[in-house]
Amino acid sequence: MNKLTLVVARSLVVAALFAVPLFADDDEALKKDLTAVIALQGLPCGQVVDVTELAKDDYAATCKDGNKYRVYMNAEGRVVVEKRK
Amino acid sequence: MKTWSIAVVYSAVLLMLPLAGCASHKAEPPVAQPQAVATQPETPEPVSTPQEAAASKPTDASPAPSEAAPAGKPATAPAPSGSTQATKPATTPAPNGATPAPKAATKTAPPVARTPTPPVRPPTPAAPAVASTAAAPLDLTALKEKLKATKAIGVFTKISLKNQVDDLMKQFSDYYQGKAKTTMPELRRSYDLLLMKVLSLLQDSDQKLASEVVSSREAIWALLSDPKKFATLQG
C-alpha cells in the first residue's frame, strides 16, 4: 500500500514536470500570435507579455509598452483588436 | 540497499526528464538564411521584360492567353521560321500548351516567337527569368494550403491575414466595377504591404514557404491586375 502511494506520487510529480513546460509553451505561442495580430492591425505593442482568456476566441492582452488590447473574433469571423484602458 | 538504488534511479530520471524537455525546444531558431528570401525578389523583376517584349508585338499581348486553347491542337503547328509574326505565336504555344498554368504559356511564348528554334536561351537576362517562371508555375491552391498548414503563423494571425486578403480582394473588385476611387498603384502598394506582412511572419520560421511566396509574388499580381483573370479568381 505504502509502495503504491509512493509510485503514484512519483508519477504525479513526473506528470507535473511535463505539464508545466507544455502549458508554458502554449502560452508563449498564444502571446506570439496575439503580438502578430496586434502588429498586423498597425497598433503599438512591441510584445504581448500577458494574456487572459475572457471567453472562447476572446483575449485580453497586455503589451510590453503598457498598452492593453482586447483581441477577439466577431460574428463575421473577423479578428478585431480593441484598445482597452 | 535496494531502496537506495531505486531512489537514486528515480531521482536521476526525474532530473533527466525536465532537462530533456528543455533540450527539445532549442532547435527552433535557425539563423541567417534570409539570403534565400532576399535574393528571390530580384527574379520577378525581369519577368516584366518578356511581358513588355510581348506587348511590343501587338498580336501577342492579348491573344496569348486564348491561344493556349488552340495551341493544344498541334494541327496548326507548322511554319517554324517562316512568314509573318502573326503565324509565329500560333506555333510557339503549342509545346507549352501542355503546361497547366496559362501564365507560363504566355510568358514563354514571346522569346520562342522571335527565334524559330526552341533553344532560345542566349538572350541574356530574359531567358533565366523565363526559365524560373516556367520551372515554378503558380499553384495558388497549393500555396494557400501551405499557408494554412504552416506552423510559423498562429491561428489568430492567419484569420487576421485572411481578413486582410479578403479586404484587398474587395478593393480590387470595387476597382474593376468602378465603385472605388483607388488607383492601381495604390492597390499595388496594398498588395506589396500585405505580402510583406506575410513574409515577415514566415521568414524566420518557414523560410521555404517564404521564398515560395516571394517567387509567386509577380504571378499573383498578374492574376490580380488583370480583370479577366481576377474574375476567374473570384468565381
Contact B21 A18 (CB under 8 A): yes
> What DSSP letter does each residue of B28-45 carry, written as one string?
----S-HHHHHHGGGTHH
C-alpha cell, B212: 515560395
pLDDT at B8: 73
Quick one: closest CA in B to A36, which residue?
A: B157
Per-residue model confidence as pLDDT tens for chain B (235 residues):
566 677 777 777 666 655 555 554 444 444 444 444 444 444 444 444 444 444 344 444 333 333 333 333 333 333 333 333 433 443 443 344 444 444 444 444 444 444 444 444 444 444 444 444 444 577 888 999 999 999 999 999 999 999 999 999 999 999 999 988 899 999 999 999 999 999 999 998 999 999 999 999 999 999 999 999 999 887 6
**What 8-state DSSP symbol labels residue B153?**
S
Q: At what angle do helices B227-234 and B155-176 cross, to 10 degrees?
A: 130
Alpha carbon distance B94, B103 (integer Å): 14
Contact A71 B156 (CB under 8 A): yes
Which of A28, A40, A48, A69 to mutate to test binding with chain B, by most B CBs within 10 Å of its CB? A40
Alpha carbon distance B78, B211 (integer Å): 39
pLDDT at A23: 61
pLDDT at B62: 39
Length in residues, chain B: 235
Task: Give A81's strand partners.
Answer: A71
Q: Which residue has the higher pLDDT, B99 or A38?
A: A38
> A9 — contact with chain B (CB < 8 Å)?
no
Domain ranges of chain B: 47-135, 139-234
pTM, two decimals, is: 0.54
Alpha carbon distance A29, A18 (integer Å): 17
Which of B8, B22, B156 to mutate to test binding with chain A, by most A CBs within 10 Å of its CB? B156
Q: Which residue has the higher pLDDT, B119 or A70?
A: A70
What distance in Å separates residue A82's CA from the closest CA in chain B? 14
Alpha carbon distance B28, B137 (integer Å): 31
- Residue B163: φ, ψ to 5°: -60, -45
What distance in Å separates residue A85's CA from the closest CA in chain B? 22
**Sorting pLDDT into bands at 50, 70 and 90, what band is A25?**
confident
Alpha carbon distance B52, B186 (integer Å): 22
CB nearest A18 (choices: B17, B163, B201): B17
> In this model, does residue A60 exceed pLDDT 60?
yes
> A67 — contact with chain B (CB < 8 Å)?
no
> A71 — contact with chain B (CB < 8 Å)?
yes
Distances in whole angstroms, Cα of residue B148 to Cα of each of B153, B157, B201: 9, 11, 13
The SS3 of residue B162 is helix
Quick one: closest CA in B to A22, which residue?
A: B21
CB nearest A36 (choices: B13, B25, B157): B157
Among candidate residues B154, B110, B15, B82, the one with its CA nearest the CA of residue A30: B154
**At which residue does the C-alpha cell 500500500 appear?**
A1
Domain ranges of chain A: 2-84
Contact B156 A41 (CB under 8 A): no
Distances in whole angstroms, Cα of residue B24 to Cα of each of B18, B27, B30: 10, 7, 14
| Greatest Cα-to-Cα distance within chain A, rounded to the nearest angstrom | 61
> A45 — contact with chain B (CB < 8 Å)?
no
CB-CB neighbors (< 8 A) of A71 in chain B:
156
CB nearest B157 (choices: A37, A73, A77): A37
**At which residue does the C-alpha cell 504555344 appear?**
B93
Quick one: closest CA in A to B23, which residue?
A: A21
Alpha carbon distance B183, B189 (integer Å): 10
Spell out the SS3 assignment of chain A: CHHHHHHHHHHHHHHHHHHHHHHHHHHHHHHHHHHHHHHHCCCCCCCEEEEEEEECCEEEEEECCCCEEEEEECCCCCEEEEEEC
> A79 — contact with chain B (CB < 8 Å)?
yes
What sign for the dihedral angle of Cα B132, B134, B135, B140? positive
Alpha carbon distance B171, B179 (integer Å): 9
CB nearest B159 (choices: A14, A32, A79): A79
Quick one: closest CA in B to A18, which residue?
A: B18
Alpha carbon distance B234, B163 (integer Å): 15
Alpha carbon distance B164, B179 (integer Å): 19
pLDDT at B187: 95
Alpha carbon distance B177, A36 (integer Å): 33
Contact B163 A78 (CB under 8 A): yes
pLDDT at A81: 96
